[in-house]
Amino acid sequence: MENSQNNVISDKEKLKQKKKQQREIKKQNKRYTSKMKFYRSVVWLLTGGIRLAFRMKIEGRENMPKNGACFVCCNHLSIWDPVFLAVSVKRPVHFMSKKEIFSVPVLKNIVSLLGAFPVDRETADITAIKTALNHVNYGNALGIFPQGTRCRGKAPETLPIKNGTGMMVYKTQSDVIPVSIYTKDYKVSFLKPVYVKIGKPIKFEEYNAGEKSQEEYQRISDFIFERICSQANESKEA
């Protein structure tokens, strides 16, 4: 009799917890929907001005999937790169942003509404990595700069790449969309042409991945970045 009563109480608690989780999911979905509406509105307002100010030329937009989980991996020339990507891919892309931005009250609210989230670049930020992986697991597009920092005026292929990109790709096995942003001298300034090339998705099978290790994560990161650099060089030569 006592066991039966305990089971009833247990079932009630489980039902209560389930309803609580469902309410929380609904709240999160509502907040996310509001953020994405804001994101699309801002991008729509920015597109014309940004394309004109930087004389943007975009190639390969058809390669960006309209939905589903993916990584949008790109070389990093300037602070404008997330804006260039937002204008180019026509789909919300979530980015890690350095935590210092989130200490500025107004700016914090704006970047949060645009889908960015903070990362501490000085440490292995586990919270940021979990947030990034959650975005992919929820079917979103996650923007990553494999270089880890801006490299103005330097040819991307001459710079070291971090293995964090490879680690996240290995864990999720999601497609990677390689994107190249380049100018003639790898410097971005107003009225100077900026070129964006969106490459075909890289499938996980292309890496022929072995057992997980730091070395394997690095190899995958290097594979992705080589694709980013090679497609930019091909366009330059064309």
SS3 146: coil
Instruction: Note the residue count of the chain.
Output: 238
Distance separating alpha carbons of residues 64 and 70, to the nearest angstrom: 9
The dihedral through the CA atoms of 75, 80, 84, 90 has a sign that is: positive
Q: Report, in this order, helix, strand and coil percent for the chain, each rounded to 5.
A: 55, 15, 30
Q: What is the pTM of this model?
A: 0.81
End-to-end CA distance of the chain: 81
Distance separating alpha carbons of residues 75 and 181, to the nearest angstrom: 6
Look at the domain 48-237 and name its fold: Glycerol-3-phosphate (1)-acyltransferase (3.40.1130)
Q: What string of pLDDT tens digits covers the 238 residues of the chain?
A: 545 555 555 666 767 776 665 666 566 556 667 777 777 887 888 888 889 999 999 999 999 999 999 999 999 898 888 888 888 987 888 888 777 777 877 667 767 766 778 888 777 678 888 888 988 988 999 998 888 788 887 777 888 888 989 999 999 999 999 999 999 888 899 989 999 999 999 999 999 998 989 999 999 999 999 999 999 887 766 6
Domain residue ranges in the chain: 48-237
